[in-house]
Amino acid sequence: MRSGSSGMKKANIIASIVLIIFTGFYAYLTSQLPTRNLPNTLGSAFMPWLLAAFLFILAASLLIMNAIRGTQEKSNPKVSLKEGLGVIFLTIFVYLYINAIQLFGFITITPFFLAALMWISGARKWREILLVSIASTIGIYLFFQKIFKVILPQGTLF
C-alpha cells in the first residue's frame, strides 16, 4: 500500500460511493424517459445511458483504486464543524435574502443583508459597515437600474 493522505483516501471512498448511488438514481430516471425517436437517430435516452455507464465505471475505478492502493493526493478534505455550520448558516441566510428581496425589494433589504454579512465576515466597525452597505446598495442600484436599465428585483410590499 502506498503512502498517501488517509483523510483523502477516506474522502475518495465516500465520494465514489455517493457517485455510484447518484448513478443509480440517474439510471432510474433515464429508464423512465419517453421513447419518441426520429428514424435513423439515437433516442433521448442514449446519451444519458452512455453517461451513466461512464460515470459508474469511473466511480467504481476510483473506489477500487483507493480501497486497494490508496491515494497520493496530499490535500486535506476535512471540513471543521465551525466551517460546516458556517456553510449551512450562509446557505440558509442567502435563501432568506432571496425570499426577503421578493417581499421587500432589492433597495430595502440589501443594506441589512450586506451589513449582516460584513459583520459575519469579521467587520466590527459599525460606522464603516453602515457606510459601505448603504453606499454599495445605492451604487449597485444606480449602476444596474439607472445606467444600464437592468431591472432589479422588486418587492411585493414596497
Partner 1 sequence: MGAPAVAALIEVLQFQNIFASFFGVLFGLFIGSTPGLTISLGMVLLLPITFKLEAVTSICLLLGLYASGMTGGSLSAILLNIPGTPSGSATAIDGYPMAQKGRAGEALGVAVSASFFGGIFGLTCLVLAAPLIARIALRFGAPELFSIVLLGLTLICSFGQTSVIKGLISGVVGLIIMTVGLDPMVGSPRFTFGQVELQAGISFLPAMIGLFAIPQILIGITGGTKVFPEYKKKVSGVLPKISSLFKLLKTMLLGSVIGTGVGAIPGAGGPIAVFLSYDYARRISKKSSNYGKGEPEGVAAPESSNNAVAGGALIPMLTLGIPGDPITAILLGALMIHGLIPGPLLFQQSQQFVYSVFWAYLIANLMNLVVTFSTIKLWVRVLKVPQKMLLPIIVILCTVGTFALRNTFFDTGIMFCFGLLGYFMLKYGFPVIPLLLAIILGPNLEEHLRMSLIISQGDYSIFVTHPISLAFIILSVFSFFGPLVWPLIKNRRRVAQKGS
**Per CB under 8 A, which of residues 79..98 are in contact with partner 1?**
79-80, 82-83, 86-87, 89-91, 94-95, 97-98
Please give the Cα distance from 130 to 67 (Å, whole number): 53
Footprint on residues 13-72 left by partner 1 (CB under 8 A)? 15, 19, 26, 29, 33-34, 36-38, 40-44, 46-48, 51-52, 54-55, 58-59, 61-62, 65, 71-72
Burial class (CB in 10 A: 0-12, 13-18, 19+), 52: buried
Nearest distance, CB of residue 88 and partner 1, angstroms: 9
Give the shortest CB-16-to-partner 1 separation in angstroms: 9
Terminal CA-to-CA distance of the chain, rounded, Å? Answer: 64
Please state, in angstroms and rounded to a whole number, the distance separating the CA atoms of residues 6 and 126.
Answer: 44
Count of residues engaged in binding partner 1, rule: CB under 8 A: 71
